[in-house]
Amino acid sequence: MAIHARNRHDPFGDPHPRHPRHARVASVARHAGPTRRSQTSPRKNLRLIGGSQLKTLRYQTSRRNTRTLQRRHRFHSQRPPWERRVARTLPVVLHIMLCAFGMHFFQMMTGIETVILYSPEIFEKAGIKNNTHKLLGTMAIGFVKTLSILVAMFLSDRIGRRPLLLTSVGGCCVCLMGLGTGLTFIQNSDHRLVWAMALCVGSILCYVSIFAIGMGPVTWVYSSEIFPLRLRAQGCGLAVAVNRVTSAACTMTFISLYKAITIGGALFLYAGFAAIAWVFFYTLFPETRGKTLEEIEALFGTFFKWRSTMRALNENKGEVQTGNTTTGAGNI
């Protein structure tokens, strides 16, 4: 990759390679040529203007018009650049913000950090009283989560963000229902239910694994892709704030929640949030794998009608490829 040359007036210029968009813009500017300037002096230009034109010019630049222009310029210049851009592209930004904030909200409302943080408590409610066994169960959760993250690295670009996300959220809902069912049977029984204990341990391990394959990493990848470059810093920062606030609310209310509606009821509640998240993702989230920044931005702004935009983009891409093939055959 070619390295961008330093500016001869700036010995400490940027030595990093330029991206393709910058190269394209620079190429257009380079072939545009120098701007033509007037060959006459300003005083001579004023002499060429007639008297009536001078009066019109003075009227147009009167004090009242100048003050109006200054007020408008001051009003627009005081607003930050990202706010002005948001006002121009409000539907697109609203769709993107809804997807990003909703994804981070539902990532934590499915109860992943609560299950990991209170895993010893959950194992004890499942009938595992030995501290060594509870420690081994917690270690198994960490081991399974690490392996699943490695699997997600290979599946994200091969399968796509949307299928991986929907599969993960659906699997989390099923696992949470299984875990809640096992704990409910154990709490309402006077005997030791081995099958319910096995169901609880298997459900919690499958839940952590399925979450780490899809919902965990895809949330961060997807939310960073959908924001345009001009809003990416502010958007990602607000999305992380939503993520952390939701996580704190879930972890701090879990003890009070399961004392009020039992631990099985709390897990059923998390399963309900996972089901709502599946519907939310299915209706509002387009696929971003293999899409350019312009195509991703075009997919947002129509909310529930993004599928028609996706079909139009695919048709246009097919027509362009057909035209290129025809041109290549003609040249041969």
Query: Residue 162's domain is classified under what CATH number?
Result: 1.20.1250.20
DSSP state for residue 214 in the 8-state scheme: I
The per-residue pLDDT for range 56-113, each reduced to its tens digit, is 545 444 555 555 555 555 545 555 665 665 556 777 888 888 999 999 999 999 999 9
Q: Quote the DSSP letter at residue 2.
A: P
Asked whether residue 332 is domain-assigned, the answer is: no
- For residue 173, the model assigns a pLDDT of 95
User: pTM of the prediction?
Assistant: 0.68
The CA distance from 58 to 62, in Å, is 6
Q: Is the distance from CB of 265 to CB of 258 less than 8 angstroms?
A: yes
DSSP state of 215: I
Span of 173-177, 178-182, 325-329 with lowest mean pLDDT: 325-329
Are the beta carbons of 126 and 293 closer than 8 angstroms? no
How many angstroms separate the CA atoms of 264 and 187, rounded?
9
Please tell me the chain's helix, strand, coil percentages from 3-state DSSP, rounded to the nearest 5.
80, 0, 20
**Does a structural domain hold residue 61?**
no
The per-residue pLDDT of the chain, averaged, comes to: 76
What lies within 8 Å, CB to CB, of 193 at 6+ separation is: 127, 185, 186
Do the domain assignments include residue 53? no
Token reading at 275 = 């089901």
Q: How far apart are the first and last CA of the chain?
A: 31
- Range 152-178 average pLDDT: 89
Whether 173 is in a domain gets the answer yes
The mean pLDDT value for 171-179 works out to 94
Taking alpha carbons only, the member of 203, 244, 196 closest to residue 119 is 203
Residue 64 belongs to some domain of the structure: no
- Per-residue model confidence (pLDDT) at position 229: 80
Residue 317, domain member (yes or no): no
Res 283 pLDDT > 60 = yes
Indicate the number of domains in the chain.
1
- Asked if 257 contacts 269 with a C-beta cutoff of 8 angstroms, the reply is yes
Is 276 within the bounds of a domain?
yes
Q: Indicate the Cα dihedral angle 117, 122, 128, 130, nearest 10°.
A: 30
Q: What is the CA radius of gyration of the chain?
A: 30
Domain hosting residue 209, numbered range: 90-308
> Distance (Å, rounded) from C-alpha 97 to C-alpha 100?
5
Please report which confidence band the pLDDT of residue 193 belongs to, taking 50, 70 and 90 as the band edges: confident
Relative orientation angle of helices 216-226 and 161-187, to the nearest 10 degrees: 140
Instruction: Tell me how far apart the alpha carbons of residues 275 and 59 are, in angstroms, rounded to a whole number.
Output: 67
Cα gap 170→274, rounded to integer Å: 7
* CA distances in angstroms from 303 to 99, 167, 247, listed in the order given: 10, 21, 27
Convert 288-307 to b/e letters by CB count within 10 Å (16 or more is b): bbebeeebbbbbbbbeeebe
The DSSP 8-state label assigned to residue 212 in this structure reads: I
pLDDT band per the 50, 70, 90 thresholds, residue 7:
very low
The pLDDT, as a whole number, for residue 238 is: 93
List Cα–Cα distances, 154 to 149, 158, 253, in angstroms.
9, 7, 35
Q: Does residue 65 fall inside a structural domain?
A: no
